[in-house]
C-alpha cells in the first residue's frame, strides 16, 4: 500500500499531477488572498469571510447529502445551535450565571463544544427519523429547521428572542486583534476550511466513505453486505451537524450579534444550492460551487446593483435607481435549481460516480433502467 | 369552544390544500413543494380580480357582491390549475425517471420562483383582503345566545364551499373515466400505459385538479382571514403537507380528515399556548407522526388511493 496524503492522491499519472497543481494553486490563492486584495484595492475582505464560512457549511452538508444521500433541508438549524451554544458560553448576556459573572469559556474550547452540541442534536434528530424514506426525511429536517429558530424566538428569557444576543466572546490569541481586524478571521476560517476538506476527503476515501456510497446507491444491497445502516447514517448526520455547529460558533463571534432570523430556511437552501450547483459529493466541486454562488451573491449582485443604480441616476429613472438586484436572489436561485435539475443534475463539477448514477437511465437504455426502478420501488414499499 | 369552530373552519382550507399534495403524491410520489406557494398566488389572483371588479375594499359596498366572488374564485381556480399544470410540464415531467431527490429539488426551485412572483406582484408587506361576507353570527342572532362561541356566516361559507368540493373530488376519482385512469396510474403507471391510458395526460389532469382546489381554498382563506402576504405559502404548505401525512399521504379521504384534525390542533395550540407556538406545534406533530406512524391515520386503506 502506498501512503496516501490526501483525497487527490488517489488519481494517477497526468490526472494526479493536474490535481496536485490545482489543489496547491487553490490553497496558495486562498492564503495569499488578503495580499492580492490589498494590492488590487478590491476591498473584498468583509465579503470573502462569509463566503468561506458558507463553504465550510457546504462541505458539512455535502457529507450528509452528497456522500450519504440523505436530503437535509434544515441544515441551518445546526448552524443556529452552534452559534447559540457559542453565545451561551461566551456572551455577557448568557443564560448561564457563571458566564455572566465574568467567567466566559475560552472561545476555542467553546467552538468545539458548539460542534459537539450540534452533533448531539444531529443524533437526536437523526436517530428516530433515519428509518424514513428520503423525501420524508427531507420534510422532517425541514420541520426541524423551522422549529429551532421559532423556539429561539419564543424563549426570550434564555435566548433574548428577536432582539438577539450581543456581544459574543472573541477568540484569544496573544498579539492578534480579532476585534478590529478581519484578516485573522480570514485565516482562522481558511484554516478550518482546509481542515474540513482534509477530514471529509479522508473519510470519503476510507471505509465509512465507501459505506456511505454503497448506502446511497442501494440501501438494501448495502445492508446485505454487512453495513450497519443506522450507525452509518447517524455518523453522516452528526458529522454534518458538527461542521455546521463549528461554523456557527465562528459566525456568531465574527458578527458579534446573532438573532433567529439569521438561521431561517433560506440559509439551508442557499447552502444546498452551493453543493448542487458545484456537484454533489465532489469536494472540489462543492468548493467551486460555493465560491461561484457566494461570489454571485455577495459581490456580483452588489456590482450589478451599482451599475443599475448608475444607469438609473444617469437617465433620471427613479425605479432603476432604487432597484435592489439582490432582492431577486431567491428568484435567481429558484430558476437555477430547476434549470440544474433539468439540464445537469450532477452539478457543474460532478464526481464521476455521481454522474454515473444520474445518467444510468441513458446508458443502460430505458427498458433496463425501468426494470431496475420497478424492482427498487417494490423493495421500498 | 371558540377554538373548535375556528379550528374546523381553518381545517377546511388546510384540507383542500392537503388534497393537492396527496393527489400528486399518490400519483407520482413527488412532494410538490411549490403547492403552498401556488395557494398563495391564488389569494393574489382573487385579490386582483376583486380589485379589478371594483371590490378591492369593502368601503362603499353594500351587501355581498356574489357575482364578483364567483368570478374571483373561478379566476383563482383556473389560474392555479393552469399554473400547476405548467409547473409539472416544465419542471417535473422530465425528471420522472430521475432519482427521487431530483424532482423534489426542482420543486423547491419552483417554490422559490412562485414566492418571488408573489413578492414582485404584491410587494413585501401584508395586503388587506376585502371583508365582503355578511357579518352574521348564528349563535347570537339566530338562537339569541350571547356566548364567546361564534358560528358566523363566514364559517358557514367556508364549510359550504369546501365540503361540496371534497365530495366532488371524491366523485371525480370514484366515478369518472379520468378518475379510474388516475387510480390505475397511481397503482402502476407502466401497466396503465400498456392498457392504453395516456399517462402524461392523467398526470397533467391531477396537477390541474390539485391546483383548482388550491385556488378555491385561496378565496376562502382571503375572505375568512382578510389578509394575505407573499410568505403565506410556506407555512400553509407545511401545514397542509402535515395534514396530508397525518391522514396517510396518497390517501384522499385521509387528507381531508387530516386537514380538519390539524386545523383543530393548530387552533387549540393558539388558544392554550399562544399564537407564536402554533407552527412549533404543527411541525412537532409532523415529526412525531412521521417517526411513529409514517403511514398516517388511514395509511393502510390503500383501496382509496388516487
CATH number of the domain to which A146 belongs: 1.10.3470
Indicate the residue of B101, B109, B290 with minimum beta-carbon distance to A132: B290
Distance (Å, whole) CA B207 – CA B214: 11
- Cβ pair B284:A71 closer than 8 A: no
Instruction: Give the gap in angstroms from C-alpha A355 to the nearest C-alpha of chain B.
Output: 12
Indicate the residue of B110, B245, B279 with minimum beta-carbon distance to A150: B279
Distance (Å, whole) CA A346 – CA B286: 31
pLDDT for res A376: 47
Say if residue A378's pLDDT is above 70. no
- Cβ pair A136:B290 closer than 8 A: yes
**Inter-axis angle of helices A283-295 and A45-61, nearest 10:** 140
pLDDT classification of B301: cutoffs 50, 70, 90? very low
Instruction: Give the gap in angstroms from C-alpha B91 to the nearest C-alpha of chain A.
Output: 6
pLDDT for res A327: 66
CA-derived radius of gyration, chain A: 22
Distance (Å, whole) CA B279 – CA B282: 5
pLDDT classification of A238: cutoffs 50, 70, 90? very high
Instruction: Give the gap in angstroms from C-alpha A328 to the nearest C-alpha of chain B.
Output: 7
Say if residue B53's pLDDT is above 90. no
Say if residue A367's pLDDT is above 60. no
pLDDT classification of A352: cutoffs 50, 70, 90? low
User: Pseudo-torsion of CA B245, A118, A256, A56, nearest 10°?
Assistant: -90
Residue whose cell numbers read 455547529: A245
pLDDT for res A204: 86
Domain around B93: 2-234
Task: Say if A359 falls within a structural domain.
Answer: no
Mean pLDDT of B51-63: 76
Instruction: Give the gap in angstroms from C-alpha B135 to the nearest C-alpha of chain A.
Output: 34
Backbone CA torsion sign across A288, A75, A264, A107: negative
Higher-confidence residue of A233 and A367: namely A233
pLDDT classification of B2: cutoffs 50, 70, 90? confident
Distance (Å, whole) CA A146 – CA A138: 12
B109-125 residues labelled b (16+ CB within 10 A) or e (exposed): bbbbbbbbbbbeebeee
Distance (Å, whole) CA B258 – CA B297: 8
Distance (Å, whole) CA B204 – CA A7: 46
Q: Is B91 in the A-facing interface, judged by CB distances under 8 Å?
A: yes
Higher-confidence residue of A79 and B123: namely A79
Task: Say if B31 falls within a structural domain.
Answer: yes
| Tally of domains in chain A | 1
Task: Say if B259 falls within a structural domain.
Answer: no
Instruction: Give the gap in angstroms from C-alpha B167 to the nearest C-alpha of chain A.
Output: 28
Mean pLDDT of chain B: 84
Task: Say if A159 falls within a structural domain.
Answer: yes
Task: Say if B205 falls within a structural domain.
Answer: yes
Nearest C-alpha in B relative to A153 = B276
pLDDT for res A379: 44
pLDDT for res A380: 42
Higher-confidence residue of A101 and B253: namely B253
Mean pLDDT of A138-157: 85
Nearest C-alpha in B relative to A277 = B105
pLDDT for res A132: 72
| Tally of domains in chain B | 1
Say if residue B143's pLDDT is above 80. no
Distance (Å, whole) CA B12 – CA A296: 43
Task: Say if A314 falls within a structural domain.
Answer: no
Contacts of B41 (CB under 8 A, 6+ apart): B79, B80, B83, B114, B117, B118, B121, B218, B233
| Pick from A355, A256, A331: nearest CA to B116 | A331
Q: Is A227 in the B-facing interface, judged by CB distances under 8 Å?
A: no
Mean pLDDT of A82-87: 91
Task: Say if B81 falls within a structural domain.
Answer: yes
Say if residue B304's pLDDT is above 90. no
pLDDT classification of A94: cutoffs 50, 70, 90? confident
pLDDT for res B6: 83
Distance (Å, whole) CA B213 – CA B18: 9
Mean pLDDT of B276-301: 73
Domain around A343: 27-298+327-350
pLDDT classification of B148: cutoffs 50, 70, 90? low
pLDDT for res A134: 66
Give B284's contacts in chain A (Cβ within 8 Å). 143, 147
Say if residue A260's pLDDT is above 50. yes
Say if residue B245's pLDDT is above 60. yes
Give B40's contacts in chain A (Cβ within 8 Å). none
pLDDT classification of A357: cutoffs 50, 70, 90? low
| Pick from B161, B117, B129, B125: nearest CA to B47 | B129
Give B277's contacts in chain A (Cβ within 8 Å). 150, 154
Higher-confidence residue of B5 and A320: namely B5
- Cβ pair B106:A342 closer than 8 A: yes
Say if residue A371's pLDDT is above 70. no
**Inter-axis angle of helices A229-255 and A45-61, nearest 10:** 170
Q: What is the percent of chain B where pLDDT is above 70?
A: 91
Q: Is A333 in the B-facing interface, judged by CB distances under 8 Å?
A: yes
Give B93's contacts in chain A (Cβ within 8 Å). none
Contacts of A153 (CB under 8 A, 6+ apart): A159, A161, A162, A260, B276
**Peptide bond preceding A286: is omega within 30 degrees of 0, i.e. cis?**
no
Task: Say if A304 falls within a structural domain.
Answer: no
Distance (Å, whole) CA B179 – CA B169: 9
Say if residue A335's pLDDT is above 50. yes
Amino acid at each position: 500500500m502506498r501512503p496516501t496524503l490526501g483525497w487527490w492522491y488517489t488519481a494517477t499519472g497526468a490526472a494526479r499531477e493536474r490535481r496536485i497543481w490545482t489543489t496547491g494553486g487553490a490553497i496558495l490563492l486562498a492564503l495569499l488572498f488578503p495580499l492580492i486584495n490589498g494590492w488590487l484595492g478590491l476591498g473584498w475582505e468583509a465579503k470573502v469571510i462569509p463566503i468561506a464560512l458558507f463553504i465550510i457549511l457546504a462541505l458539512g452538508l455535502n457529507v450528509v447529502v452528497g456522500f450519504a444521500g440523505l436530503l437535509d433541508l434544515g441544515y441551518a438549524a445546526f448552524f443556529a445551535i452552534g452559534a447559540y451554544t457559542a453565545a451561551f458560553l461566551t456572551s455577557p448576556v448568557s443564560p448561564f450565571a457563571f458566564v455572566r459573572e465574568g467567567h466566559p469559556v475560552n472561545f476555542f474550547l467553546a467552538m468545539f463544544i458548539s460542534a459537539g452540541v450540534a452533533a448531539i442534536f444531529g443524533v437526536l434528530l437523526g436517530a428516530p427519523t433515519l428509518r424514513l424514506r428520503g423525501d420524508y426525511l427531507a420534510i422532517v429536517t425541514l420541520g426541524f429547521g423551522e422549529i429551532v429558530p421559532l423556539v429561539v424566538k419564543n424563549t426570550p428569557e434564555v435566548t433574548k428572542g428577536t432582539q438577539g444576543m450581543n456581544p459574543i466572546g472573541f477568540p484569544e490569541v496573544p498579539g492578534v486583534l480579532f476585534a478590529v481586524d478581519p484578516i485573522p478571521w480570514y485565516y482562522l476560517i481558511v484554516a478550518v476550511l482546509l481542515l474540513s476538506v482534509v477530514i471529509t476527503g479522508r473519510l470519503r476515501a476510507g471505509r465509512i466513505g465507501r459505506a456511505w456510497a454503497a448506502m446511497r446507491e442501494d440501501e438494501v444491497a448495502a445492508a446485505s453486505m454487512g453495513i450497519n445502516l443506522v450507525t452509518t447514517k447517524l455518523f453522516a448526520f452528526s458529522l454534518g451537524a458538527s461542521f455546521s455547529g463549528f461554523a456557527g460558533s465562528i459566525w456568531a463571534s465574527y458578527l458579534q450579534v446573532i438573532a433567529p432570523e439569521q438561521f431561517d430556511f433560506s440559509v439551508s437552501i442557499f447552502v444546498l444550492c452551493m453543493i448542487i450547483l458545484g456537484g454533489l459529493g465532489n469536494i472540489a466541486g462543492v468548493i467551486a460551487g460555493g465560491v461561484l454562488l457566494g461570489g454571485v451573491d455577495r459581490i456580483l449582485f452588489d456590482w450589478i446593483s451599482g451599475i443599475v443604480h448608475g444607469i438609473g441616476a444617469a437617465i433620471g429613472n427613479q425605479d432603476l435607481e432604487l432597484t435592489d438586484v439582490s432582492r431577486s436572489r431567491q428568484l435567481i436561485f429558484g430558476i437555477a435549481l430547476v434549470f440544474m435539475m433539468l439540464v445537469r443534475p450532477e452539478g457543474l463539477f460532478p464526481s464521476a460516480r455521481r454522474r454515473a448514477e444520474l445518467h444510468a437511465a441513458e446508458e443502460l437504455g430505458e427498458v433496463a433502467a425501468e426494470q431496475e426502478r420497478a424492482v427498487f420501488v417494490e423493495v421500498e414499499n | 369552544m371558540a377554538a373548535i369552530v375556528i379550528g374546523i373552519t381553518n381545517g377546511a382550507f388546510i384540507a383542500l390544500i392537503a388534497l393537492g399534495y396527496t393527489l400528486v403524491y399518490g400519483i407520482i410520489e413527488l412532494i410538490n413543494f411549490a403547492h403552498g406557494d401556488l395557494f398563495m398566488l391564488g389569494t393574489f389572483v382573487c385579490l386582483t380580480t376583486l380589485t379589478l371588479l371594483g371590490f378591492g375594499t369593502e368601503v362603499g359596498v353594500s351587501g355581498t357582491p356574489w357575482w364578483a366572488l364567483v368570478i374571483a374564485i373561478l379566476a383563482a381556480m383556473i389560474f392555479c390549475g393552469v399554473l400547476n399544470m405548467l409547473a409539472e410540464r416544465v419542471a417535473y415531467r422530465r425528471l420522472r425517471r430521475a432519482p427521487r431527490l431530483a424532482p423534489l429539488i426542482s420543486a423547491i426551485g419552483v417554490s422559490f420562483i412562485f414566492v418571488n412572483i408573489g413578492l414582485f406582484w404584491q410587494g413585501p408587506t401584508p395586503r388587506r383582503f376585502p371583508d365582503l361576507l355578511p357579518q352574521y353570527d348564528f349563535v347570537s342572532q339566530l338562537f339569541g345566545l350571547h356566548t364567546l362561541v361564534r358560528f358566523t356566516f363566514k364559517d358557514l361559507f367556508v364549510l359550504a364551499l369546501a365540503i361540496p368540493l371534497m365530495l366532488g373530488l371524491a366523485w371525480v376519482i370514484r366515478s369518472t373515466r379520468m378518475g379510474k385512469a388516475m387510480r390505475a396510474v397511481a397503482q402502476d403507471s407502466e401497466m396503465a400505459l400498456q392498457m392504453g391510458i395516456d399517462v402524461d395526460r392523467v398526470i397533467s389532469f391531477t396537477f390541474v385538479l390539485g391546483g383548482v382546489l388550491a385556488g378555491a381554498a385561496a378565496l376562502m382563506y382571503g375572505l375568512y382571514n382578510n389578509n394575505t402576504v407573499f410568505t403565506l405559502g410556506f407555512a400553509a404548505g407545511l401545514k397542509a403537507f402535515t395534514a396530508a401525512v397525518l391522514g396517510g399521504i396518497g390517501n384522499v379521504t385521509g387528507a381531508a380528515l387530516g386537514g380538519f384534525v390539524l386545523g383543530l390542533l393548530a387552533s387549540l395550540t393558539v388558544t392554550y399556548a399562544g399564537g407564536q407556538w402554533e407552527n412549533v406545534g404543527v411541525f412537532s406533530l409532523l415529526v412525531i407522526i412521521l417517526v411513529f406512524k409514517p403511514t398516517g391515520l388511514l395509511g393502510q386503506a390503500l383501496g382509496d388511493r388516487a
